[in-house]
Structure 1
Amino acid sequence: MSKFHYKSFLWAVLCCIAVATMISSCGSGDGIKYRYGVFLGASPDDLKYMDEYEKVVIDAQYFTAKEIAALKDSGHTVYSYINLGSVEDFRPYYKDYEGITLEVYENWEEEKWVDVSKAEWQSFVVDELAVNIINKGVDGLFVDNTDVYYHYPTDEIFDGVTNILKGFKNLDTYVIINGGDAYVTEYAKRNSELDSIMDAENQETIFSKINWDDETFTSNEKNETEYFQEYVDLVSGYGKDVYLLEYTTDSGLIQKIDDYCAEKGYTYYASDKLELLAPAQKKGSQKK
């Protein structure tokens, strides 16, 4: 081979390697730096702010299947918010179920608790709402407000929450319960298992505390921290994943959270915004 042709051949090979590398790295998640981010207040315009997060929680009712597919194709795991135990007045189905609502949700005036013992609510949340969300391609459900059982601790409400969670699991999806300590603890006590209702726990404010009067953040009381640590340890003991969602900008507290999660093998995200908007707070993001 002549020197000229050899150089041409070598250049062509190098170009092919470069193109192949670009193709393989595009959408491979190489830019992901952090483990977890909760962006429930985000819109499709905020997708770019999620680039660095391996696992993201969004409200998929406001995203298209194409937008969710783009997130997944670029290396992200996508979970969607779903409200099991209350309903907000901005949801398009609010009027359909207002007749079975209970009291107003404290600190969230646009939201009311729902009587989850009602068959029509159970059917809607599982067979319509959850199915529509899952059909958009999400990897799992971030289930909020099983705490309805804490506020209304009757067997009827307990059974309603259980029916809905088992319905989610029957859809063959990953189920994260947000909070729900009263319900989950009671379910474990009655059944000695959690496999039927959940795959993971997301517990808010183990270390941080929200001052609702002015929506500022501080550190939680020691007894509250210890209570929730015992709770997530209980869930972890049943083989479930544990996520922490904290609200703080305190670097010292974030380091404490980071150390705790490193020791326990838990995952966390510390938000600087109550509304869980994007872009995220980098100092509150757990590195991969």
Structure 2
Amino acid sequence: MRTVKTFCMSLIFFALIVINGISAESTKDYKVLIGMSPDKAVQLKGIKTLVIDAEFFSQEDIAQLHKNGNTYIFSYLNIGSIETFRDDYAAFTDTALGHYENWDEEKWVNVADKKWQNRIKNKAQLLSQKGIDGFFLDNADVYYHYHTPEIYQGLIALLHTIHTEHKPIIINGGDTFITEAMRQDSIKGMVHGVNQESVFTEIHFKNNTFGAKSAEDREYFLEYLAQCKRYGLAVYILEYGATKQLTKEIKAYCERNGFTYDISPSLQLDKLF
């Protein structure tokens, strides 16, 4: 999930919405708009839980979002990979572990590296000072790709550090890490919830289209999210380009389980509709 994508992809996905009847349903409960520019985002109103990339917002911007009636402002924070469009990218290339498939502007990083952990600590403090209400942490999936005790403990250490800001934490993805953390009971009282992308939908990166998740993969995520619910985690799901029929299924599933959802028309997460 990244903020920098090409204009060409935007046109392709807009065409899919028009041609294929993809739903662009927007709710006021939950919106993930980490790709929306601050000048547009500060005009948003009445969203209960709004996720932005607050690194690019000022303290005044965050205050305006609250003034607009947006209740909880969560900031994106990438804890598991380094991105070329961040100002400090060059300073952390030595922590890189390897290529991030489908996202050429990113590399996985060694989350156990002390320099990286200090970076995340400083980022969390700066974001907190801007007046955000919580953290939306991405790329705990580094533990899936580099499945070692060192990486697991590195992620746990990062969570403890971010938790000292006394703000709720939502972890995006990271099912392998979260499953192990629940098994070890390592995140109770520290992680508020999980956001799972593409439970019902999937992204076809080779031809830049959306589709429906296979029954087998969907079943895996449904069981995983049920486990998260039993553990006491709030559950959010984020879907891309769902058809009208899939939108109905997503809405009904979330209503049955007390989950919260967002359906984005854009992989860039820069549009309400």
C-alpha separation between the residues in 1 aligned to 2:27 and 2:222?
26
Aligned partner (choices 82, 94, 100) of residue 99 of structure 1 = 94
CA distance in 2, matches of 1:197, 1:97: 27
1:57 is matched with 51
What is the correspondence of 1:188-267 to structure 2 with a 5 Å cutoff? 188-191=182-185, 194-267=187-260
How far apart are the structure 1 equivalents of 2:57 and 2:118?
Answer: 23
The answer for the alignment partner of 2:144 in structure 1 is 150
Q: CA RMSD in A?
A: 1.4
Structure 2: distance between partners of 1:188 and 1:75: 34
Q: Does the aligned pair in 2 maintain the 1:261–1:268 contact within 8 Å?
A: yes
Q: Distance in 1 between matches of 2:192 and 2:171?
A: 8
Deviation at 1:74, TM superposition (A): 2.3
Q: 1:48 to 1:137 in 2, by over 3 A?
A: closer
State the alpha-carbon separation in 2 of the partners of residues 233 and 166 from structure 1: 25
Matched, 1:87 2:112: no
1:45 paired with 2:39, answer yes
Could you say which residue in structure 2 is the equivalent of 1:162?
156
Matched, 1:69 2:54: no
Task: Spell out, residue by residue over 1:134-182, the C-alpha distance to the aligned partner (whole angstroms, 9 max, x if none).
Answer: 1100000000000000000000000001100111112101100001100
Please give the TM-score of this superposition, normalised by the length of structure 2: 0.87
Query: Where does residue 18 of structure 2 map in the other structure?
Result: none
Partner of 1:269, secondary structure, is: strand
1:157 aligned counterpart, secondary structure: helix
SS in 2 for 1:41: coil
Q: Following TM superposition, where does structure 1 have runs of at least 4 consecutive aligned residues deviating by more than 3 angstroms?
A: none
CA distance in 2, matches of 1:48, 1:90: 22
Which of the residues 119, 123, 127 maps onto 1:129?
A: 123
- Alpha-carbon distance between aligned partners in 1 of 2:207 and 2:50, rounded to the nearest angstrom: 28
For 2:56 and 2:110, how far apart are their aligned partners in 1? 25
Asked whether the 8 Å contact 2:52–2:76 carries over to 1, the reply is: yes
**2:42–2:64 contact (8 Å) kept in structure 1:** no
Residues 98-120 of structure 1 show CA distances to partners (whole Å, capped at 9, x for unaligned) of 11111111000010000111111
Letter in 1 for 2:145: H
Q: Distance in 1 between matches of 2:111 and 2:64?
A: 34
Aligned partner of residue 244 in structure 1, secondary structure: strand
Going from structure 1 to structure 2, the CA distance change for 1:33 and 1:245 (only over 3 Å counts) comes to: closer
Asked if 2 retains the 8 angstrom alpha-carbon contact of 1:176 and 1:202, the reply is yes
Larger radius of gyration: 1
In structure 2, distance between residues paired with 1:136 and 1:221: 41
Match of 1:180 among 168, 174, 177: 174
Partner Cα separation in structure 2 for residue 203 and residue 221 of structure 1: 16
Residues 74-115 of structure 1 show CA distances to partners (whole Å, capped at 9, x for unaligned) of: 221110000000010110111111111111110000100001
Q: TM-score, with normalisation over the residues of structure 1?
A: 0.83
Structure 1, unmatched stretches of 5+, are 1-31, 282-288
Q: Which has the higher contact order (CA 8 A, sep 6+)?
A: 2
Q: Aligned residues, how many?
A: 247
Unaligned runs of 5+ in 2: 1-25
Q: Give the 3 Å change call, closer, same or farther, for CA 181–33 of structure 1 in structure 2.
A: closer
- Distance apart, 1:73 and its partner CA: 2.0
Identity %: 38
2:261 is paired with a residue of what secondary structure?
Answer: strand
CA distance in 1 between counterparts of 2:268 and 2:157 reads: 29
| 2-structure distance, mates of 1:33, 1:119 | 40
The residue aligned with 1:285 is none
Distance in 2, Cα, partners of 1:33 & 1:217 = 20
> What SS does structure 1 have at the residue aligned with 2:136?
strand
> 1:194 offset after TM fit, Å?
2.8
Note if contact 2:31-2:262 (Cα within 8 Å) is conserved in structure 1.
Answer: yes
